[in-house]
Chains A and B, each alone.
Chain A
Amino acid sequence: MDLIKKIPAYVERIPNGGILMTGLDWVLNNAKASSMWYMLFGLACCAIELMATGASRYDFDRLGMIFRATPRQTDLMIVAGTLTLKMAPRVKLLYEQMPDPKYVIAMGGCTMHGGPFYHDSYSVLKGVDKIIPVDIHVAGCPPRPEALMNGCIALQDLIRGEKVGRKRDRPGLRHIDPATNLPLLVRPDTGLIRPNQIIMPDQLRVLS
């Protein structure tokens, strides 16, 4: 009965049992937030911390997070590590292979702006939000497992606040096409970005 008190529900007592009435948003969002399956992939040293978070000491499973080895079964992509320009088209392809609704956590300084590789590096993508929309950024080099789990809890809160059927507003997205309010998939000069294309940051200016 304690649990029932916590949920935004209306319980009606009738002589032979009860009827539970609640919001569709609440049910669907809780279903989504409580079983976030993340994709099993890591790019660099942050992946070690992701593995530590998934192992028994920190135990990701208690947030309902289980890794899946295929993008087709995942809801969440944790980009853990340095994303190079060579790897970027693959990560974009993996993101596009995930079924909707899908979420992205960018873990570590590398995924925000290149981190330690911001200066003097020609091969590192300076921020994964240049190719995929990011919901949560977790800072650190690498972030501790607690920080990553905090990021996941923040993402769950974000999901719980969603409205079913309403377009999601993505706070972490740096490149939004102002005309359509969609993630930037259009290059200012030549049009669509193909999944296998190598994207240079200078091609990804926000349209103005």
Chain B
Amino acid sequence: MTPQEFAKHLGANYPDHQFEIDPLNENCVLIPLQLVPQCFELLRDDDATQMDYFDFSTCVDHPPDRLDLVYSMYSTVYKHRIQLKVVLDRQNPCVPTVSHLWVNANWNEREMYDLFGVFFPGHKDLRRLMMPDDWEGHPLRKDYAHPNLVVRPD
């Protein structure tokens, strides 16, 4: 399936919502935040898609107000891959977990919580993954500052 076909397929299942190709990446479909666990469950279990392999999920920071969450999935049956993007509010990024659908999403979400400060309600074990437990702040945010950080002179 191509991204366009994915968008059409999702649109047929959720007629009340808009699914567009991301203007920044033609392989990526923008999905609304309200659909986050259901639409992933559909893509995983639907016979037409069968996205049984979760590549990764990660974040892209767009200051001042936008934080994008990108999910990448693959089907070992149909050998097709799709990226889905959810746009979050940068001040209070919060998105339901998908770690109950794919086990490896668990650490990806912990990593995003650690480095970007995205909160995942429903996650079983939302602790920092890389930084020390008592670390303050989320280092991969573009406006992150730390006394140890020496900015490279241009």
B134 contacts across to A, CB distance below 8 A: 198
Q: Complex Cα distance A61/B131, Å?
A: 37
Chain A residues numbered 187-208 whose CB sits less than 8 Å from any CB in chain B: 198, 200-202
The tally of residues in B whose CB lies under 8 Å from a CB in A reads 14
> Does residue A85 face the partner (Cβ distance < 8 Å to B)?
yes
- Chain A CB count within 10 A is highest, among B131, B132, B144, B152, for B132
Q: Which residues of B contact A118 (CB under 8 A)?
A: 150
**Segment of A32-40, A121-129, A161-169, A174-182 engaged in the interface with chain B:** A121-129
- Chain B residues near A126: list those with CB within 8 A: 148, 150
Q: Indicate which residue in B130, B132, B147, B152 contacts A120 across the interface (CB closer than 8 Å).
A: B152
Most buried by B among A122, A123, A200: A122
Q: Once bound together, how far apart are the Cα atoms of A198 and B134, in whole Å?
A: 9
Question: Which residues of A sit under 8 angstroms from B146, Cβ to Cβ?
Answer: 122
29 CB-based A-B contacts, threshold 8 Å:
A85-B132, A85-B148, A86-B130, A86-B131, A86-B132, A118-B150, A119-B151, A120-B149, A120-B150, A120-B152, A121-B148, A121-B150, A122-B139, A122-B144, A122-B146, A122-B148, A122-B149, A123-B131, A123-B139, A123-B148, A124-B148, A126-B150, A198-B132, A198-B134, A200-B147, A200-B148, A201-B147, A201-B148, A202-B148
Binding site for B on A (CB under 8 A): 85-86, 118-126, 198, 200-202
Closest A-B pairs by Cβ, 9 of them: A119-B152, A122-B146, A122-B149, A202-B147, A86-B132, A120-B152, A122-B139, A122-B148, A119-B150
Given contacts A86-B131, A126-B150, A201-B148, 17 further A-B contacts (CB under 8 A): A85-B132, A85-B148, A119-B151, A120-B151, A121-B148, A121-B149, A122-B139, A122-B144, A122-B146, A122-B149, A123-B131, A123-B139, A123-B148, A124-B148, A198-B132, A201-B147, A202-B148
